[in-house]
Every structure is written in C-alpha cells, then in structure tokens.
C-alpha cells in the first residue's frame, strides 16, 4: 500500500549546496512569501479565533501550529525533494471552523481535526486522492466556499462605515499599492494596509496603554479532543475537501506550471500528518499553499527555487516560536483593523470562488450551495456549509444530470 507514496528522486542537497543555490532572488521570494502568510492569512485566524471566543493562549497556540509545525514540514520536504513545496494551513477550512464554533465547542472541532487528518493520510497512502478530488464537482464546492467567504467581504464594508478613520486609510494604501505593480512588488499591498492600519491606530490613540506587549516565546496549549458525531459530519469531509481540492489542487497547479513535478501522494500524506500534529495544540489542517508557492516560483532558475521554500520554512519556524508576541500585537488592535485586513485578503479569493462556481457547469447546484451556506441555518446541529454541499450536489444530480458527463470541447 505504501508504494503509492513517491520517494525523492535526487539526493538531498548539502548545507553548502543550499547556500550556493540561495541567491538574493530566492531569499527575496522566500521573504515575500512568508510576509504574505503573516499578514492577511494570519488576520483570518485571529478574526475566527476571536469570534469563536477562544482565549489569547489558544489563539497563540493555533498560530504556533500554523507556522512552526508547517515551517518544519516545509523545510523538510523542500530539502528532501529539491522542489519549492511550502505548507501552511487551509484558509477555507479556517473559515469553516469559524462558522462551526458558533454551535460546537473547540474540543469538538479539534476532534474533527484528528479524523480529517487521518482521512487525508489514508487517501495519500492508498493513492485515492484523484478519485476523491473528482467526487464533488468543483463549481458546487466553490459555491459553498463563496458562501463561507462572503462574511469577510461584508465585514470589510461594515468596518468602513463603523470606523472610517482606521479602515479608510488602510483601503487607500491597499488600492495604491495594488494599482501600481512596480510599487506593489516592493511592498505587498496587504502589508502596506497593515502598516497604515498600525500607524493610524497609534496616531489616534486607539491602543490600550495598559496592555503590555513584549517578546514572549510560545507555551503551547494542548487541546483535549471531544468526539462528536455532529462535528464529524459537519467538518471532516469539508475540511478534507478544502485541503485536497481547493488548496492542494491550486498548489499543485502552480508548482507544475513552474516546471516541477510534485509528489502528489507524498504531499497528501504530509498534509494529513501535519493536520494530526497541529491538532495537538489546536491548529487547523495543513495544506500545500497556493499563494506562497506562487511567490516562491515567481522568478529565478527552476532548480534553485527550492531554496526559497526553505527560507519560507525557516522564517515560519521563528515566527511560530514568537506566536504570543505577534498574536497579542494584532489582538490589541481595533477590531476594524483585523476586519479590514481579512476582508482585503479575501477579495481576490472571493472573486475567484464566484468565478469558479458560476462560470462553467453546475451553476444551479453551485447557486443552491451558496444560498444554503449564506443562510447559515444549522440543522441536526450540523452547520450550513455541509448542507450547502449536500443540497448543491442533490440539485445538480436532479436538474443538471447531463453536466456530469464528459466536458464538451470548446
């Protein structure tokens, strides 16, 4: 069974070889890829954790898992396979968990993390990943994802009206950097928005002076799982789908387009193992990230791009060790800063979800998946995202059956 897992085809590079391959281009790409992860995606974790009433220690422990554990995996896999394969956490899965925390305990969610991780490992070692990825049509999955992500876009609009003096300058900075590619490459738009938000907060005296913020190393909060049938039904399959179909599918496409040959089954197993380890301290499932890998393979020689991945991993490890410091810095900021950062980060993702859901086949099933998810009405103590997938699939089976056939040639 384990012969489905691909072994490295080259000898791992020596430290001297890694240093020789890691020039300025690759170090810069690695730094920017890491910088992306510690701004917008981190803001989404903080928003979900705060809304889910997690303690500051639990949120810091989640951040530790997201960066330290996945950073270790990134360094190991990039070194073994000499390919830019960077791992972080599933953003759609994080948003799903935020929805689940409105009616499930965190212990029940952690129990679902373990089962989802075990399922992903099983699919990897048996080579069944491709069949599972084809099981539910992508437009229906993306209709559900669009429904889950919509909240972040709405929160962005609400932040503008509720706290214009903070959100307004952040959006302006993001627009300027996003509309000027030369400038945006030197300063990522989301990072510019973060800096402007921090400066606005300080200048307006919106930080509680009694809150002490200093360097602090992580003391992980170990989570005891609770085994709930409702949590398993609601979260396990959607989490696995977000990892395998949405995140890994995107990551594989990006790495392949750059001329690499990623080991699909091995990466799947690594994601499952990472999910199980992360669950110990309350972290969400590991995935092969799309945006960071896109930055890492954006330039330079293909044979040397793995070194940029290693840079990402090393920086992520350091960031994870100092998770309490960085989590507290953002948690003491006004809620509008987090809402604006998360909303700006999700704009393109939300746009892509709508495009994937409604531009091809299964548009009616995708629409029902979207509507049921947005309605956010749990049934049988199971969240709306799961029912969105089920309703969308049933509607397409009943009313869009011909679209399950071969895709027509254009």
Task: List pLDDT tens digits, range 342-375.
Answer: 788 778 778 877 888 898 889 999 999 999 988 8
Instruction: Evaluate whether residue 126 is within a structural domain.
Output: yes
**Residue 300 clears pLDDT 60, i.e. is over it:** yes
Rounded CA separation 372/368 (Å): 6
Helix (H) or strand (E) segment spanning residue 87: strand 87-89
- Predicted local distance difference test score (pLDDT) of residue 325: 82
Tokens 């960031």 found at: 319
**Residue 213 clears pLDDT 60, i.e. is over it:** no
Q: What's the N-to-C CA distance of the chain in angstroms?
A: 39
Instruction: Evaluate whether residue 71 is within a structural domain.
Output: yes
**Residue 2 clears pLDDT 60, i.e. is over it:** no
pLDDT greater at residue 87 or residue 343: 87
- Predicted local distance difference test score (pLDDT) of residue 309: 95
Instruction: Evaluate whether residue 390 is within a structural domain.
Output: no
Other beta carbons less than 10 A from residue 202's beta carbon: 11
**Average pLDDT score over the chain:** 86
**Residue 210 clears pLDDT 60, i.e. is over it:** no
Under the banding of pLDDT at 50, 70 and 90, the label for residue 383 is low
Rounded CA separation 244/396 (Å): 22
Tokens 């393109």 found at: 348
CA-based nearest residue to 231, from 91, 111, 379, 372: 111
**Residue 338 clears pLDDT 90, i.e. is over it:** no
Share of the chain above pLDDT 70, in %: 93
- Predicted local distance difference test score (pLDDT) of residue 238: 87
CA-based nearest residue to 6, from 81, 89, 116: 81
Into how many domains does the chain fold?
Answer: 1
Other beta carbons less than 10 A from residue 47's beta carbon: 23
Instruction: Evaluate whether residue 332 is within a structural domain.
Output: yes
Under the banding of pLDDT at 50, 70 and 90, the label for residue 265 is very high
Average pLDDT over residues 24-52: 81
**Reported pTM:** 0.75
Compute CA 202 distance to the chain's CA centroid, rounded to the nearest angstrom.
29
Instruction: Evaluate whether residue 385 is within a structural domain.
Output: no
Average pLDDT over residues 93-105: 88
Rounded CA separation 260/340 (Å): 36
Q: Residue 137: which domain range?
A: 10-347
Instruction: Evaluate whether residue 329 is within a structural domain.
Output: yes
Instruction: Evaluate whether residue 365 is within a structural domain.
Output: no
Instruction: Evaluate whether residue 241 is within a structural domain.
Output: yes
Rounded CA separation 105/45 (Å): 17
């Amino acid at each position: 069974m384990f012969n489905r897992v691909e072994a490295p085809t080259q000898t791992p590079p020596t430290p001297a070889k890694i240093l020789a391959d890691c020039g300025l281009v690759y170090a810069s790409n690695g730094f920017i890829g890491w910088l992306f992860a510690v701004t917008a995606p981190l803001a989404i974790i903080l928003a979900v954790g705060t809304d889910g009433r997690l303690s500051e220690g639990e949120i810091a422990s989640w951040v530790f898992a997201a960066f330290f554990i996945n950073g270790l995996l990134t360094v190991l896999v990039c070194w073994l396979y000499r390919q830019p394969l960077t791992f972080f956490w599933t953003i759609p899965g994080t948003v799903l968990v935020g929805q689940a925390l409105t009616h499930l305990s965190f212990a029940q969610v952690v129990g679902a993390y373990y089962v989802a991780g075990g399922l992903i490992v099983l699919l990897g070692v048996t080579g069944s990943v491709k069949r599972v990825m084809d099981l539910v049509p992508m437009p229906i999955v993306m209709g559900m994802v669009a429904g889950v992500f919509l909240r972040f876009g709405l929160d962005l609009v609400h932040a503008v009206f509720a706290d214009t003096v903070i959100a307004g300058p952040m959006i302006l900075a993001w627009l300027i950097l996003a509309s000027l590619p030369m400038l945006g490459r030197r300063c990522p738009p989301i990072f510019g928005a973060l800096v402007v938000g921090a400066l606005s907060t300080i200048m307006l005296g919106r930080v509680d002076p009694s809150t002490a913020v200093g360097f602090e190393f992580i003391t992980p909060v170990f989570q005891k799982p609770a085994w709930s049938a409702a949590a398993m039904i609601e979260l396990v399959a959607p989490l696995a789908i977000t990892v395998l179909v949405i995140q890994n599918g995107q990551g594989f496409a990006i790495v392949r387009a750059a001329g690499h040959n990623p080991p699909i089954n091995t990466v799947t197993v690594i994601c499952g193992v990472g999910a199980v380890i992360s669950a110990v301290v309350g972290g969400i499932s590991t995935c092969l990230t799309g945006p960071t890998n896109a930055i890492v393979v954006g330039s330079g020689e293909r044979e040397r791009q793995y070194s940029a991945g290693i840079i990402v991993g090393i920086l992520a490890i350091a960031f994870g060790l100092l998770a309490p410091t960085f989590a507290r810095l953002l948690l003491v900021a006004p809620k509008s800063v987090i809402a604006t950062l998360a909303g700006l980060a999700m704009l393109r993702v939300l746009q892509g979800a709508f495009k994937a859901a409604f531009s091809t086949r299964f548009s009616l099933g995708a629409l029902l998946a979207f509507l049921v998810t947005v309605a956010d009405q749990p049934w049988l103590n199971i969240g709306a995202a799961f029912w969105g997938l089920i309703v969308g699939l049933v509607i397409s089976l009943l009313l869009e059956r011909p679209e399950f056939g071969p895709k027509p040639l254009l």
